[in-house]
Chains A and B, each alone.
Chain A
Amino acid sequence: MLKLEKRLQQSKKWIYLSPFLAVVITMISGGILFTILGENPFEAIRIIFWDPLFDPNFASYSRPQLLVKAGPLILIAIGLSFGFKAGVWNIGAEGQYIMGAIFGAGLALAFYPMESKLIFPLMIIAGALGGFLWGMIPAFLKAKLNANEILVSLMLVYVAESILASVSQGLLKNPDGYGFPGSRNLQKYESAANVEIISNSGMHWGVLFAFITVIFSYIVLTRHIQGFNIQLTGEAPRAAKFAGVNPTANIVFCLGISGALAGLAGMFEVAGPSGQITIEFNSGYGFTAIIVAFLGRLHPVGILLSGLLIALTYIGGELAQLMLGLPGASIQLFQGMLLFFLLATDLFANYRVKIGTN
């Protein structure tokens, strides 16, 4: 008989071990799935995890793409991790991402076609501000009316999507676009384009910001009083109150920083890889980043690694579809398994498995 026994303290070892175990189990179950679909499982797994990095035909293109895909995920996930540690649940990063993109692109288009070195830095500020303000709505309602920030931030995603649809067809519509929705292409507007810092590396300004944010958040969480306050509020809210942590300030800080970082991610995306504000501009980074944050154990370095891993499954998954003709749904299923097994293996962090009848 197997028995589960609750641990007195979370196992440190298992907290770090379980993501790796989850990846291994996902590979095995995914292999079985691909076998059922009539493919060689080893080939499929190799294409997903190996070929994007090392295949001689694709790697020179897909390695940089890995950074392009991981950049916004890491940037958003780092922001979310502050709140998740403190028990402030911002589920609406997708909306803050959209608002950051609209603010950033809106500022650029207001200056179009003027060329100036100041435009891009201003766009960075505008993008962060857009996300920050959108994050302040649930923060304000939580602090003043105790409204549930999970619901408010999530619902604001749909509001942001409606605003996105509206500006794509109105305010920011490309006047040379024959009446079709969508803004001008910012990649073609030199002062506003978020270009690669090193040619063909995938390393655009957003990716650099993501890396800087990882370091910054590591320092805040380990060396700064605000990091201590956040951890304390999450783990022992009453103790935090006695220690003089202001709960309102905490909510504002967590939603503000996650909103601002999500907004930055949206701005870098619209000025770079996407290039345009369109009705379907957002592609789920804000939601996927929640998975990235937890897969990375809410730790800055963990988030960096998990962001890269999730990006790899996207790019490798696309390759597998293309090379093997796998159905798109099988790749989504494969990605879903990863989260599922992560949650499952988390059990070992809190429980001990005992063999015996007593």
Chain B
Amino acid sequence: MYIKSVIAGAIASVGIAAAALAADVKVGFVYVGPVGDYGWTYEHDQGRLAVEKHFGDKVETVYQELVPEGADSERVMTQMALQGADLIFTTSFGYMEPTINVAEKFPNVKFEHATGYMRADNVSTYSARFYEGRAIQGHIAGKMTKTNKVGYIGSFPIPEVVRGINSAFIHARKVNPDVEFNIVWIYTWFDPAKEADAATALIEQGCDVVLQHTDSTAPQAAAEKAGGVITFGQASDMAMFKPTPRVSSIIDDWAPYYIARTQAVLDGTWTSTDTWDGIGPGMVGIGEITSAVPADVKAEALAMKDAIASGDYHPFTGPINKQDGSVWLAAGETADDGTLLGMNFYVEGIKGDVPQ
């Protein structure tokens, strides 16, 4: 590519400049939301801070927040690479193609893209099995709802989000055959105003449990205001809403992964990989289940968590039918990762369609 030679020259000059600095490795982070969202981006930034703390002077980190997905993110990544970053984490699904494009131009820089599926020699992917946490949420939601209506705020109808809805729904139905899910799509990861509107609309429709797959605490605040509604912290603990409305949470813990990958770059052992870890390895954490949850429900939830962590239980274990009634998993069969990664259908019992 024509741009390569120019950029190669720029890399060389940056390389010389970087060598003079104290840090051995520079790690960049590209965030879709603000670091203060107390959700998705907040936890990635906690991971970044953990890297700084762990390596001290050996590693320097830089980050950029509120980076729109698409062409703008490509420029941000390029500038990071030009500035001398050795390892760049791009932490949103929409950065996938830009990450691949920039990685092509900087073969000596390592890239890690969260939640995507495109890899290259210098591009790894990583994600967490959030659906394991969703199973526990679904169980608590099914037990605790009095109106039998659970609201679900969806961001984008991509497999990761659809998978979470299915996992929560299966486990809610298991303990409460009358439960229904009301799902709204707001087409954004982070927009407190839209998230609050969606939560309020769901509560007005009679939902007394609101689950969210968006990054801000706005739905928590809306639930607190309405009263009598329970929620779960998403991506981060959102502990400021304890003990209600937030009764538990799914916590993404990226710190160990970020430290391990930075170490690999320091050691020169970094290779392109695909990581998808859950509760067992600790990438997905379950935040404190508060006193608002009855003791027996809490005990069941914790037992499920332990069973998932040990590998004894897979949240997608048959018999499970697809929404149209056709068999997806026979009794005792568990879902394979390939199907889960591309999941674009609802399971039996969910009303409405995955937007197409």
Contacts and interface: CB of A to CB of B under 8 A. Distances in A.
Given A58-B82, A169-B157, A322 B17 contact: no
Interface stretch (A18-26, A124-132, A276-284, A349-357): A276-284
Contact of B14 (A57, A273, A281): A57
Contacts of B82: 57-58, 61
Nearest to B28: A322
B55 interface: no
Contact of B157 (A161, A181, A321): A181
Given A181-B158, A283-B70, A322-B83, A60 B75 contact: no
B94 interface: yes
Given A178-B342, A327-B34, A278 B79 contact: no
B72 interface: yes
B34 A170 contact: no
Contacts of B344: 179
B156 A281 contact: no
Nearest to A169: B356
Interface size class of chain A, counting residues whose CB lies under 8 Å from the partner chain: 35 or more
Nearest to B62: A322
A180 B158 contact: yes
B212 to A, nearest CB: 18
A85 B13 CA distance: 49
A65 interface: yes
A281 B94 CA distance: 10
A185 B97 contact: yes
B229 to A, nearest CB: 28
A315 B75 contact: yes
A248 interface: no
B68 interface: yes
Contact of B71 (A170, A179, A283, A321): A283
Interface string A323-352: 101011100100000000000000000000
Given A318-B76, A321-B64, A61 B10 contact: yes
Contact of A319 (B3, B79, B343): B79
Contact of A61 (B2, B68, B79): B79
Contacts of A281: 70
A279 B96 CA distance: 13
Interface of A: 56-58, 60-62, 65, 68, 161, 165-166, 169-170, 178-182, 185, 187, 196, 199-200, 269, 273-276, 278-281, 283-284, 315, 318-319, 321-323, 325, 327-329, 332
Interface of B: 2-3, 6-7, 9-10, 13-14, 17, 34-35, 62-66, 68-72, 74-76, 78-80, 82-83, 93-94, 97, 101, 117, 156-159, 187-188, 341-344, 355-356
26 contacts: A57-B10, A57-B14, A57-B82, A57-B83, A60-B6, A65-B75, A165-B187, A166-B355, A178-B342, A179-B344, A180-B117, A180-B342, A181-B157, A275-B97, A275-B101, A276-B70, A278-B70, A280-B69, A280-B187, A321-B64, A322-B79, A322-B83, A327-B34, A328-B64, A328-B65, A329-B34
